[in-house]
Chains A and B, each alone.
Chain A
C-alpha cells in the first residue's frame, strides 16, 4: 500500500510549485533546526548545577534584535516574490486556449465544453493544450481543486472566476470540492481525464452534440426573448450586442466598465446593477428563468459576436 501518495506532477506548473514548496521547506528546516539546536544546547549546557561559566555582564540586545528582524525580512521578500510571481501566472489565463465552463452545484461538477459536450463529475481534456476554465456555482461556494495540477479556485455563485492549466501527463486525477458546501461535500468528487491528443480526438468524436455552445446560445437568444429588444431589427431602444464583448461600456453613473463575461452575466441576471448610458432601465431580470448553463450559453453567443460589425444604419432608422 502506498502510504504516502504524493500527488503526480501532472500540470505544466506543478513542478515549479513543488520546487518552491520544497525549497521553502528546506529553509524552514534549517531555521527550525537552528532554533531547536540552540535551545537544546543551552538546556544541556546551562542546566542548573552545570559548571558552564556565566558572566554577570549582559550582551547589549539592540544590534542582535535588529539582525534577527532584518535577515528574515529579506528572506521573506525573496520567497514572496517567487511565490507571488507563480500565483499571478497560475491565475492569469493566456489569451487563447480551450475554453471550458464549469458550474458547481450541490453536489456535483458540471462541465460545458465549447463544442457542446456536457459532462458531470468528469472532465476530459487533451494534454499539452492550455485549458481555460470559467468557473461559477449555482448555489453555495464550492472550490474546484485538482491536486495533481496544484490548482484550486473557489466557485462563487454570482461571479465568474477564470484560471487555466495545461496537463502534461496523461492520466486520471481527482477533482475535489475543497470548500465546504453542505451535506455531501465529501462526495463532490470528480475526475479529470487527461488524454493524448489522438485519444482525445476519438473521445470528442463519440460525443456528437447536436449543437455547440454558441449555437445553443443563439437558439436561446431567440427563444427566451432577448432578440425582441437586442436584435438589430428590434424597435425597442436597447444596447446592441454585436461587437460588444471586450469593449469599454459607459454607464449611466459615469463610470466605464469593460464588457467582460461578468458584465454580460450581470446584465442578464441583475440588469439594474449597471445601466448603460443612454438607455432606460427597462430590461427585466432573467434571474430564476435561466439555468447557469443557459447563462453560459448566452454569454458564449454574445462573445461569438465580438467581431461582428455593429449595424449602425439599422439602429439609426429605429424610432
Chain B
C-alpha cells in the first residue's frame, strides 16, 4: 500500500542528503550519519557475498560424503572464513551500523550522532580490520574456525591466525566507538518531549546493544591479543605443557561471544517491534516489558557463557548454574515473542513485504529459541554439543532471525533511505523464497545433529548423505532468494517511483521529514507530545480531516 507522491514543497528548500555533494570525496569524508550508514551498507553487502560464497562452496562439498571438490584443508579455511566474515563483518555491524546509524538521529529528532567524526572514523577502522582479514584470506586464510580455540590456534595451526585475529581486533574498536556514540546520543540528543518511555523500541534495542558492545568487545580484544602474544612471543598462556590453561581461552572467548550473539539479534528484535506495530496499526502490546526485556537480555547475556562448555570439563556445578541461567535468559526473548503476537490482536493487518519478513522472523526465531532450550538442557547438550543441531539452532537465530529482520528493515526504510519505492510483488516473492530456502537448508541439519553428525566435517559417514543433499538443495534456493532483492532494489533505485515522506503512515519521527531526508535531517527539530506507536491517533478520521485542511 505504498503511495507515490510528487516532490514535496519542503524539498526545494534543502537538498536531500543524497544530492548534497556528488564527488567521491563528499562520500569518503562525509560526517553525515546517513551517508556513513550507506558506506557501511555497501561494505557489509560485499562481505555478505564473500561469506555466502564460502557457504555455498561448503554446501557443494557436502553433496558427497567423500572428497570431490575441496580438500580438508581448504574446507577448514572456508568455514573459518565464513564464520569470521559473517559474524564480525556482517551480522554485528549489519543492523547497528547500517540502520542504527541511519535511523537513530532521525528517530530521536536529532541532526546527527553525538560524535560525527568518530562515526566516520569507526567506518575507516572497520575497513582497516576488514582489509587485514581479507589479506589473511588471500594469503591462504586461517583454519582455526571463527572460535579460535586454543591450543590449536595458539600453537598448532599454520594458517594466518595473527593477521586474521588482528583484523578482528581492529574491527572491534569500530564496534566500541559505535556503541559509545549511540549511548551518548540517546542520552543527550533526544528531541524535546521525547522521554525515555516515548522512545521507539528500536532505540531501546540499540541502547541495550550498545551497552554490550562497549562492555564485551574489550574482552574479545584482550583474548585475541593473548593469542597473538602466544603465537608471536611464545608466552604460553594457553599451552598446558608449560602450565597454561587451554580452557581459559574458552571462558574469555565466550564471555564476549555469547553477549555478541545478542549484539546480533537485539537490533533485529527492535526492527520487529517497529514493523509489527506499523503493519497491524496497533500500539505495541506491553511497551515497557518489551523495552525492559532488551535490557534484561543485555544483562543476563553476560552470565551464560559457560553453556558453551558443558562438555569441556568444567565442574558439574558450573554446568548446573550456567544451564539454569541459560533457561532464564530465554524468558525476556519469550516475552518479546508473546508481546508481538498480542500486538496483532484486533489490529488491521497489512501484508506488505516488511511484515512478511517479520512473520518469517517470529517463526524462525521461535524455533531457534526453543531449540536453544534443548541445548540448555544439560544431558541433551552432552549428545548435541558440536553437532549439526547446534549449527541449525544458531542459524535459525542468526539467519532466520537476524537476516530476516535485516531484510525487513531494508524494505521498510528503503523509501526513506533512497526516496524510491521498490516493486511490491517481486519483493514478496523474494521474502517467501528466502523463507522456504532457509527452512530447506537448515531444518535437515537439526535431524543430522540428533543423528550424531559432528560439525566441521567435510567428509562424513554415508548414512548422513540424504539429509546433506536436502540441505544443499535448500541452500541453492536460499542463495537465489538473496539475489532477488539485489536485482529489484537496484532496479527501483533507477526506475522506481518516488516515495512520499511517510508511505507506510508510520508514527516514528523519521517519517516526518522528507524522503530522502535533508542533510540536517529536519527543517525544524520536532517536538514530541505523544507516546511511540500511537496508531489510533494517526489513523483517526479526525487527523485525516486536519491534514486535508492543512494542505
Q: Which of A24-32, A120-128, A192-200, A237-245 contacts B (4 or more CB under 8 A)?
A: A24-32
With A28-B371, A179-B386 as known contacts, state yes or no: A61 contacts B246, CB within 8 Å: no
Residues of chain B contacted by A49 (CB below 8 angstroms):
348
* A250 close to chain B: CB less than 8 A: no
Note all chain A residues with C-beta closer than 8 A to B350: 47-48
Specify which of B313, B348, B366, B467 is in contact with A35 (CB 8 Å cutoff): B366
CA distance A150 to B385 in the complex (A): 11
Q: A84-B323, A152-B311 are in contact. Are A55 and B366 (CB under 8 A)?
A: no
Q: Which residues of chain B are within 8 angstroms of A77 by Cβ–Cβ distance?
A: 327
Q: Would you call A202 an interface residue if the criterion is a C-beta within 8 Å of the partner chain's C-beta atoms?
A: no
Question: How far is it, in angstroms, between the C-alpha of A73 and the C-alpha of B328 when the chains are bound?
Answer: 7
**B76 and A156: CB pair below 8 A?**
no
Contact B380 A152 (CB under 8 A): no
Bound state CA distance, A48 and B240, in angstroms? 64
- Interface mask (A105-127 → B, CB under 8 Å = 1, otherwise 0): 01000000000000000000000
Cα distance, A139 to B348, chains bound together (Å): 62
Asked whether B529 is an interface residue with its Cβ less than 8 Å from the other chain, the reply is: no
Q: Is the interface of A mostly helix, strand, loop or mixed?
A: mixed
A159 in complex: contacting residue of B151, B240, B366, CB < 8 Å: B240
Complex Cα–Cα for A206 and B211 (A): 64
B377 touches A83 (CB 8 A): yes
Using Cβ atoms and an 8 Å threshold, which residues of chain B touch A82? Answer: 377, 379
B362 at the interface (CB under 8 A from A): yes
Interface string of B188-219 (1 = CB under 8 A from A): 00000000000000000000000000000000
B382 touches A87 (CB 8 A): yes
Partner pick for B335 among A21, A56, A65, A185, CB 8 A cutoff: A65
Interface: A275 (CB within 8 A): no
Q: Is there an interface contact between B72 and A184, defined as CB atoms closer than 8 Å? A: yes
Tell me if B271 counts as interface (CB < 8 A to partner A): no
B80 closest partner in A (C-beta):
A180
Segment with Cβ contacts to A, from B27-35, B102-110, B130-138, B278-286: B278-286
Q: Nearest residue in B to A1 (C-beta to C-beta)?
A: B466
Q: Does B545 sit within 8 A of A, measured CB to CB?
A: no
Cβ–Cβ contact B349 & A150, under 8 A: no
- Say yes or no: A287 contacts B366, CB within 8 Å: no
Q: Which of B261-294 touch A at CB < 8 Å? A: 280-281, 283, 285-286, 289
The residues in B between 404 and 460 inclusive whose CB is less than 8 angstroms from any CB of A are: 447, 450-452, 454-460
Which residues does chain B contribute within 8 Å of A6, judged by CB atoms?
A: 450-451
Q: How far is the CB of A51 from chain B (nearest CB, A)?
A: 11
The answer to whether B313 touches A174 (Cβ under 8 A) is: no
With A17-B382, A80-B377, A84-B378 given, name 11 new contacts (CB 8 A): A17-B383, A43-B351, A79-B377, A87-B378, A156-B247, A158-B241, A159-B313, A161-B313, A186-B458, A187-B459, A189-B461
Q: Give B contacts to A, CB under 8 Å.
A: 72-73, 76, 143, 145, 149, 151-152, 155-157, 240-247, 280-281, 283, 285-286, 289, 310-313, 316, 319-320, 323-324, 327-328, 330-331, 334-335, 337-339, 341-342, 344-351, 359, 362-363, 366-367, 370-371, 373-374, 376-383, 385-387, 447, 450-452, 454-461, 463-467, 536
* 26 pairs of residues in contact across A and B, judged by CB atoms under 8 Å: A7-B450, A24-B377, A28-B371, A32-B366, A36-B363, A38-B344, A42-B349, A55-B346, A68-B335, A69-B331, A69-B335, A87-B316, A89-B379, A91-B316, A140-B151, A140-B156, A145-B454, A147-B383, A150-B383, A152-B383, A152-B386, A158-B240, A159-B313, A174-B461, A179-B149, A179-B386
